Amino acid sequence: MYRTGLIGLPNVGKSTLFNALTRGKAQVANYPFCTIDPNVGVVPVPDRRLEAIAQITKPERLTPAMLEFIDVAGLVKGAHRGEGLGNQFLSHIREVDVVVHVVRCFDDPDITHVDGDVNPVRDIEVVETELVLKDLETVEKRMEKTGRMIKTGEKRYVVEMERLERLKAWLERGESIRAGQWDDEEQSLIAELFLLSAKPVIYAANVSEDDLLGASAYVQDVKRVAERSGASTLVICAALEAEIAELSPDEAREFLSELGLSEPGLHRLIRLAYDQLDLVTFYTVKGVETRAWAVPRGTLAPQAAGKIHQDMERGFIRAEVVDWESFVRCGSLATAREQGILRSEGKDYAIQDGDVVLFRFNV
């Protein structure tokens, strides 16, 4: 399952947002390091297409695609040296696929800021700097190892050292790996080293209920930082989302309507994380379950089948495919087949977002 990490300084609203996402019970309090061990929750991906398909199939079980969210302990300056809970914090980030960096963009005298006042740019720089410094440490350790291996006379170590030197020079300028342009070999090395600042980032600007559209100077500052570093920005009010999460679906819709909102901010956050991971969704409708499956864009049909069961990948014969809108219009795979809309695809077919698929296999 794909993992999304909620990170940020202490007391910026991470755990409040996590609780709203998962309806969980992560501890929330007005002091640093309230969250020590990471809280983990599995969150369904909002999907109107799945709902439309279910209206046709009327399944006994309806299973959406899922993302795992992790509420990581708050970070402080010096984390790369182990300050605060730095080592734990950084190791937990290493395990996630995409980062949601929650940034405080509201004033509230009753909620302590770890640095005394609200300054989103400074707060972002604290976290980004710690990630970059940890990456620099990782690269330098690898350079020591590669330097020893160069003595063997193998040319590949000389080439690797050149790539490491480019990464080091970039990091020494204080730049995140994410903001750089890297060739395929460098990308492969970055992935091998699990560099933290290479991970895709969403800045979640946590605003007050008076700034739901993100008009404040705080939010504009966050957007400017995001643009420079190749990250995305989402404006969200964690306190409001926590209130909405406690309501029934009908009450939530009415409340959102009163606020002039079409959906909870959490839905936008989940979809944005999904997009940052570059995932696509396909659907299966066979038997008692209708289900959405998340796979990386470009996944071939046999590997998508293996997501369901390894035997299906091993014994893959073909995939019978129709887009979800045609499926809803036809009402069944059988009708889609009769109308010549259901396609037969082989091992080289890349699953497309919105495909309804029946895998044929033999083991």
What integer pLDDT is reported at residue 116 of this predicted model?
67
User: What pLDDT was estimated at residue 14?
Assistant: 87
pLDDT at site 26: 38
Asked if 7 contacts 94 with a C-beta cutoff of 8 angstroms, the reply is: no
Does CATH number 3.10.20.30 belong to domain 280-361? yes
Cβ atoms 209, 216 nearer than 8 A: no
- Residue 23 is predicted with a pLDDT of 74
In the three-class reduction of DSSP (H, G, I as helix; E, B as strand; rest coil), residue 69 is classed as strand
- The ranges of the chain with pLDDT < 50 are 25-36, 79-80, 82-86
Spatial contact of 218 and 120, defined as CB atoms under 8 Å apart: yes
Compute how many other C-beta atoms are within 10 angstroms of the C-beta atom of residue 307.
16
pTM to 2 decimals?
0.83
Look at residue 31 in the predicted model and tell me its pLDDT. Answer: 35
The Cα angle at residue 84 between residues 80 and 88, in degrees rounded to 5: 65
Which one, of 354, 236, 346, lies nearest residue 293 by Cα? Answer: 354
Whose tokens are 């008009």? That residue is: 215
Query: Cα 235 to chain center, whole Å?
Result: 16
Rounded to whole angstroms, the Cα distance separating 267 from 253 reads 13
What is the pLDDT at residue 32?
39
Tell me how far apart the alpha carbons of residues 252 and 23 are, in angstroms, rounded to a whole number. Answer: 14
Q: How far apart are CA 166 and CA 106, in angstroms?
A: 39
Q: Which strand (E) or helix (H) includes residue 138?
A: helix 120-150
What does the domain layout of the chain look like in residue ranges? 3-49+56-114+199-276, 130-197, 280-361
Mention the CATH class of domain 3-49+56-114+199-276. Answer: alpha beta
pLDDT at res. 37 = 53
Give Cα 67 distance to the centre of its chain.
8
Secondary structure string (H, E, C) spanning 19-32: HHHHCCCCCCCCCC
**Cβ atoms of 163 and 180 closer than 8 Å:** no
Give the Cβ contact number of residue 359 at 10 Å.
22
**Residue 34 confidence (pLDDT):** 41
| The pLDDT of residue 145 | 95
Q: Extract the runs of DSSP E, i.e. beta strands, from 154-288.
A: 201-206, 232-236, 279-284
Residue 346 tokens, joined: 């082989």
**For position 72, what pLDDT does the model report?**
80
Residue 42, pLDDT score: 86
How large is the angle between the packed helices 265-276 and 14-22, nearest 10 degrees? Answer: 90
**Length of the chain in terms of residues written:** 363
Q: So what's the architecture of 130-197 in CATH?
A: Orthogonal Bundle (1.10)
